[in-house]
Chains A and B, each alone.
Chain A
Amino acid sequence: MSFVLVQVIVGGLLLGAVYALFSSGLTLVWGMMNIVNFAHGDFVMLGMYVAYVVYTLMGGGPLLGAPLATLVLATVGVVVYFALIRDIMKGPMLAQILGTFGLALLLRYSVFWWFGANFLSMPQDIVGGTYAFAGLRIEASRLLAGVVALLVTLGLHLLLTRTSLGSKMLAVAEDQTGAQLMGIRPDTMQAVAWAIAAGATGLAGALIANFFYIVPTVGETLGIVAFVTVSLGGFGSVPGALVAGLMIGVIESLSGYLIGAIYKDIVVYVLFLLFLWFRPQGLMGKT
């Protein structure tokens, strides 16, 4: 294998870790409440803009931008849960899909109206330098994004499986009435899930803002990536999202390198359709 190919694969893995991070938010909400957030990609977009504003207004780098984006988006998640999701969850399917789809438009075009349709980008040197490692050259900003995303996704998995908070959330997902009888408030737990899910998108957005193009419509592309990741990994499964996210990152990078950059999205979308045809429960999901 040539060095270039290894380089492409490593780049794909690093980006894939970020995909995994924001997709685990989608899978958490989907698995727990059986609702698909069509505004999920736009949450990531918001995170990117928060990081951008932190840089332009306060001159802060990712050290300030990433925690702030996480916090802002977690707040957005809680507000959205109480203002919208809690009610449409009980409504018909039409209301569930329209509600979050409308939210996506609202966020996307508010940002569009405020910042314009221009492509923005962070300065190249905000996370400086490139590391050379055994012949590979990796940009520091991508390395930072990949490693942090990987660690946080693993942390999220541990939070959900090893802590009492995680058990409580699982209990609510399993049986709301039963959980209530045990003194767990479903409302609180679901709000926490939205805070975690949206916070993850905020962090992911701030991490990729350092090397990605920043544009209001980026949320649509990233939203579809999250759908693909979750249906590949099986819904409700954070480890599934991690494996699927890494896979999609690599597939995207490889097809971009081998076929051409404009086809990398098409390859991922076609893969999604193939999965719906032949294995809708995902790679390791339950039916």
Chain B
Amino acid sequence: MRRLIWLSVFAAIAIAYPLLLSSPFQQRLGALVLLYAIAASAWNIVGGYAGQVSVGHVVFFGCGAYAAMGSYAKFGLSPLFGIPGGIVLAVGLAAIIGVPTLRLSGHYFSMATIAVAETMRLIVTNTDWLGAAVGLSGPTVPRNIFDLSFLSSLPYYYLFLAILAITLLITWWMTNSRMGFYLRAIKDSERAARSLGAPASRTKLYAFMLSAALTSVAGALYAMMFGFVDPESGFGILISVKILIMAALGGAGLLFGPLVGAAILVPLEEISNSWLGGKGAGLTFVLYGAIIVVIARFQPGGLLSLFKRRGKPTKDTGASHAP
């Protein structure tokens, strides 16, 4: 009951935020927090719940972004029509990465994700059909509402809020389904879970595919809001880093962890960019690196795990011990 009250309070705040703080900067900031929260929550499904650390998650983000922009730039359709294509592409890539590596120890999975992301970035950069290094642009002037191209950030804010709610609902539903029980058992001890008949590799693969599909949607939304995508913003490692650090800072494997991480880090980055200007670009990522190292060393469960009931060892919120 108390959880329900808290939840409605937070939902009310989220709905009222852009009306109370209504400057364009604040609305844009709010929309960006929600956008990154969607991507980080999607990462959380495989990185947090399944305990498989993807360090190249941007590859799915890029699939969605390129599919959305491609559907406009190549076929003159609304970017919305690209979303299913992006999802199919992302899920297919997830299978290519996941099928061989999810049988092995988690290190192989992480290495494969980074290699695939880098491969895609190189391929896209050298493909003229996809705009090579320049990338693809969306509609400059919206033809109708389905182009989802708005000047104000307000429509994006509510769109992202709705998608985030759906993402969290799917995650919540997953944790309470059979799949969620399997994942928890596998994270505790994969060997024990296997011996009791839990299909470990397959469950992890499903989680990975679900995560890839949702990340691809986040990428499509990103491209629609910014109106373009290029190889760096679509497949660059720095987007992977942002997704990963938001989930890890807030709390990997906790439902609201990624949202908390995004709500802290997105404003931090915007502020440091506006204060430091171009000089800050490198410094922001020095800080990100330092934050990641400190989390890994001292609080692998993330910030939210500090508020969990005492008596539970914080170790359990991280991934399984490598066999």
Contact = CB atoms under 8 A, between A and B. Distances in A.
Contacts, number: 159
Given A101-B292, A105-B292, A227-B111, A280 B100 contact: yes
B132 to A, nearest CB: 11
Interface stretch (B4-12, B64-72, B175-183, B279-287): B279-287
B100 to A, nearest CB: 4
Contacts of B237: 220
A276 B248 contact: no
B152 interface: no
Interface string A89-113: 0011111111101111111111011
B191 interface: no
Contact of B293 (A34, A91, A103, A109): A103
Given A88-B296, A99-B296, A112-B282, A93 B106 contact: yes
Interface stretch (B22-30, B116-124, B137-145, B221-229): B116-124
A271 B282 CA distance: 32
- Majority DSSP secondary structure for residues of B touching A: helix
A272 interface: yes
Contacts of A221: 118
- The size class of the interface chain B forms with chain A is 35 or more
B118 A220 contact: yes
B248 A231 contact: no
Given A36-B111, A231-B108, A93 B292 contact: no
Main secondary structure, interface of A, reads: helix
A96 B322 contact: yes
A187 interface: no
Nearest to B125: A262
B119 A270 contact: yes
B107 interface: yes
A174 interface: no
B232 to A, nearest CB: 11
B321 interface: yes
22 contacts: A30-B107, A92-B321, A93-B106, A94-B248, A96-B296, A97-B107, A98-B244, A99-B296, A102-B289, A103-B293, A105-B285, A107-B289, A109-B282, A110-B282, A263-B126, A269-B116, A272-B115, A273-B96, A273-B97, A273-B100, A276-B108, A280-B103
* Interface pairs A-B: 9 shortest CB-CB: A102-B292, A92-B318, A105-B289, A106-B289, A99-B296, A113-B282, A95-B300, A102-B293, A109-B285
